């Protein structure tokens, strides 16, 4: 009887792993295709798409596409710009949105339910619909910098960062997470005479790792994939991000697919690195969200 039980368990385990491996293969195929294709000449790459060879390191392999891609476009500049813009926006977003959520959850003030509802309603407005008025606004905004007073934010890093620091989705995520924190912790801290700032910094945020990771990853992906906004507000090559840079490879009728794949491989590295660094916290956040009653 015990033998049968053990067999059943082994079978279940094997089938579970088989499904997981299948799902993993499905998810890894695009990445595998991208990396393998980046090592092949364009003509071979296109021919290989008709078979499984597309996913295998076969044929004439070299790093020539990478060399050509770096000659065609200032890839390092684009990647650094995107990492800088994305990094700063994510940090500021986490700070501002968590503070806003803290105020919504723990601080009593009149009208917060109405304002929170209005905030949530903005989730249904796509950014693209406000880009034109936003463009007109930022083109007239004043700025005082090292070079003195100037009018207009176009062609700067700040115009790519400031409009995206606060967003309703991140605030919502923090609010949902903060609501589930034990109220006793906050009340005890207040009784001990802690200020709201101290409670935010010393009590709430140290407990909020999962939601910080989730909000950071979502914001990172949104910012790293920005295309239309930087296209509208940035004219200088020196401050262009990676997605606009992709246009350097896709404008011709005869697209250099090998170089496109090399470029995509290079610009995917920061995304993977960021995700992998926060993977454990992200998964625990998703898991804990899933079991919440």
Q: Contacting other proteins (CB under 8 A), which of 211, 217, 233, 266?
A: 233
Q: How far is the CB of 84 from other proteins (least distance, A)?
A: 20
For other proteins, which stretch binds (CB under 8 A), given 3-11, 30-38, 230-238, 276-284? 230-238
Is residue 51 classed as helix, strand or coil in its secondary structure?
coil
- CB-wise, 120 or 154, nearer to other proteins? 154
**Cα separation, 37 vs 254, whole angstroms:** 17
Q: Contacting other proteins (CB under 8 A), which of 24, 107, 123, 132?
A: 132
Report if residue 158 touches other proteins, rule: CB under 8 A: no
Give every CB contact of residue 34 below 8 A, 6+ residues apart in sequence.
261, 264, 265, 268
Q: Which has the closest alpha carbon to 155: 244, 242, 238, 81?
A: 238
- CB-wise, 57 or 247, nearer to other proteins? 247
Q: Cα 87 to chain center, whole Å? A: 10
Q: How far is the CB of 248 from other proteins (least distance, A)?
A: 3
For other proteins, which stretch binds (CB under 8 A), given 81-89, 198-206, 214-222, 233-241? 233-241
Report if residue 266 touches other proteins, rule: CB under 8 A: no
Report if residue 248 touches other proteins, rule: CB under 8 A: yes
Report if residue 232 touches other proteins, rule: CB under 8 A: yes
Residues in contact with other proteins, shown as a per-residue x/- string from 60 to 99 under the rule CB under 8 A: -----------xxx--------------------------
Q: How far is the CB of 141 from other proteins (least distance, A)?
A: 11
**Cα separation, 160 vs 142, whole angstroms:** 16
Q: How many residues are recorded in the chain?
A: 293
Report if residue 255 touches other proteins, rule: CB under 8 A: yes
**Cα separation, 30 vs 55, whole angstroms:** 9
Burial class for 238, CB neighbours closer than 10 Å (0-12, 13-18, 19+): exposed
Report if residue 136 touches other proteins, rule: CB under 8 A: yes
Q: How many CB atoms lie within 10 A of CB 187?
A: 11
3-state SS of 165-205 is CCCHHHHHHHHHHHHCCCHHHHHHHHHCCCCHHHHHHHHHH
Q: Contacting other proteins (CB under 8 A), which of 41, 59, 152, 209?
A: 152
Q: Cα 17 to chain center, whole Å? A: 29
Q: Give me the residues that bind other proteins (CB under 8 A), please.
A: 43, 46-47, 49, 71-73, 132, 135-136, 139, 152, 154, 228, 231-233, 235-237, 244-255
């Amino acid at each position: 009887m015990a033998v049968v039980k053990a067999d059943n368990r082994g079978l279940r385990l094997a089938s579970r792993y088989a499904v997981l491996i299948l799902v993993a293969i499905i998810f890894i195929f695009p990445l595998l295709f991208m990396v393998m294709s980046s090592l092949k000449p364009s003509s071979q790459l296109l021919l290989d798409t008709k078979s499984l060879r597309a996913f295998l390191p076969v044929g004439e392999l070299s790093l020539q596409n990478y060399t050509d891609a770096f000659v065609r476009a200032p890839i390092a500049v684009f990647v650094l710009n995107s990492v800088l813009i994305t990094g700063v926006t994510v940090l500021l977003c986490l700070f501002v949105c968590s503070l806003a959520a803290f105020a919504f959850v723990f601080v009593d003030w009149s009208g917060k339910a109405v304002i929170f509802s209005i905030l949530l309603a903005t989730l249904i407005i796509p950014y693209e619909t406000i880009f034109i008025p936003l463009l007109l606004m930022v083109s007239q905004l004043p700025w005082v910098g090292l070079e003195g007073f100037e009018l207009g934010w176009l062609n700067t890093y700040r115009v790519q960062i400031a409009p995206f620091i606060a967003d309703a989705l991140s605030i919502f995520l923090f609010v949902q997470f903060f609501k589930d924190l034990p109220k006793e912790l906050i009340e005890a801290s207040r009784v001990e005479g802690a200020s709201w700032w101290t409670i935010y910094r010393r009590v709430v945020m140290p407990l909020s790792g999962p939601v910080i990771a989730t909000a950071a990853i979502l914001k990172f992906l949104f910012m790293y994939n920005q295309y239309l906004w930087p296209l509208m507000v940035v004219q200088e090559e020196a401050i262009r991000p990676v997605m606009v840079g992709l246009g350097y490879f896709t404008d011709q009728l005869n697209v250099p697919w090998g170089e496109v794949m090399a470029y995509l491989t290079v610009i995917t590295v920061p995304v993977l690195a960021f995700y992998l660094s926060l993977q454990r916290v992200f998964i625990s956040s998703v898991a804990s969200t899933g079991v919440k009653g």
